[in-house]
Amino acid sequence: MKIALLGYGRMGKAIENIALDRGHEVVLKIDKNIESYSLEELEIDAAIDFSIPDAAFKNITTCFKAGIPVISGTTGWLDQYEEAVKICDEHKAAFIYASNFSLGVNIFFELNKKLAGMMKNLEEYGVEIEEIHHTKKLDAPSGTAISLAEQIIEVNERKKGWHLEKANDNEIPVFAKRIEDVPGTHTVSYTSRIDDIEIMHTAHSREGFAKGAVVAAEWIKGKTGVYTMKDVLSSLLE
């Protein structure tokens, strides 16, 4: 496959290493203005976007207009997500956005949904989410933590939203910690007077995220439409 990297920071470099190891070719690395490149001439099979919030929408939709499938893990731009999906459909492109491309995290998402369904009627248990990341992660809470909260809200009628740290009774508190040189960790905790129940995912390196993004790019090649990592995961676990 010919892959374009939209954003060439630490995650972009990790994705490049995984892509090359899996026999792919990185034909474009963009760290600035995507509109200065002739994308059609490069015969790109898929673009992987790990840029910055201010650049993500332009990066993604420029690829759509060139008919290039996009895998995006950039957070902080989702107020424009629906508009991006519309442009994707108009140009018959393909798109996967995920707050986290790690295959392990996406299994964790499925566990979270299953546990939330089991706990939804047990009013004696309170629920909260904690995420820990390195100090260079600017957004808080993480996109992964937000996804976990939204999954719980979807099945638990007593929870109407989430809030950073201080939350009302009908909200899920989400705690975000930034600590130097720590692995990314997400914990969902259910607590009662009698006992606690926790599920946790800890990422030991960026390799899991990078591999998941490349696997998603391999999966989406030749497709049109909007998909999720659940679609990718389902095909892997069949």
The CATH number of the domain holding residue 144 is: 3.30.360.10
Annotated active-site residue 186? The verdict is no
Are 164 and 81 part of one and the same domain? no
The average pLDDT across 131-142 equals 81
User: Do 94 and 72 touch, CB atoms closer than 8 A?
Assistant: no
Q: Which structural domain, as residue segments, surrounds residue 43?
A: 2-101+207-237
From the list 24, 133, 159, 201, the catalytic residue is 133
Residues 6+ apart with CB under 8 A from 66: 39, 40, 44
In the chain, the number of structural domains is 2
Picking from 92, 102, 76, the residue whose alpha carbon sits closest to that of residue 214 is 102
Amino acid at 111: L
Are 119 and 78 part of one and the same domain? no
Q: Around Cβ 144, how many Cβ atoms within 10 Å?
A: 23
> What integer pLDDT is reported at residue 113 of this predicted model?
96
The average pLDDT across 10-14 equals 90
Phi and psi at residue 137, to the nearest 5°: -80, 120
User: Do 208 and 108 touch, CB atoms closer than 8 A?
Assistant: no
Are 87 and 15 part of one and the same domain? yes
Report how far residue 112's alpha carbon sits from residue 187's, in angstroms, rounded to the nearest whole number: 10
Are 170 and 141 part of one and the same domain? yes
| pLDDT greater than 90 at residue 207 | no
From the list 2, 91, 137, 223, the catalytic residue is 137
> What integer pLDDT is reported at residue 81 of this predicted model?
95
Find the range with the poorest average confidence among 2-11, 130-139, 215-224.
130-139
Which of the four pLDDT bands, split at 50, 70 and 90, describes residue 212? Answer: very high
**Residue 120: helix, strand or coil by DSSP?**
coil
Task: Round the average pLDDT of the chain to a whole number and report it.
Answer: 91
Are 29 and 93 part of one and the same domain? yes
Are 9 and 27 part of one and the same domain? yes
Are 57 and 26 part of one and the same domain? yes
Are 189 and 220 part of one and the same domain? no
In the chain, what is the greatest distance between 2 CA atoms, to the nearest angstrom? 63
Which of the four pLDDT bands, split at 50, 70 and 90, describes residue 209? Answer: confident
Which of the four pLDDT bands, split at 50, 70 and 90, describes residue 140? Answer: confident
> What integer pLDDT is reported at residue 33 of this predicted model?
67
| pLDDT greater than 90 at residue 184 | no
Are 58 and 86 part of one and the same domain? yes
| pLDDT greater than 80 at residue 135 | no
- The CATH number covering residue 37 comes to 3.40.50.720
Which of the four pLDDT bands, split at 50, 70 and 90, describes residue 138? Answer: low
Are 73 and 115 part of one and the same domain? no
Are 120 and 65 part of one and the same domain? no
Are 159 and 89 part of one and the same domain? no
Annotated active-site residue 133? The verdict is yes
**Residue 129: helix, strand or coil by DSSP?**
strand
Match 């719980």 to its residue by tokens: 152
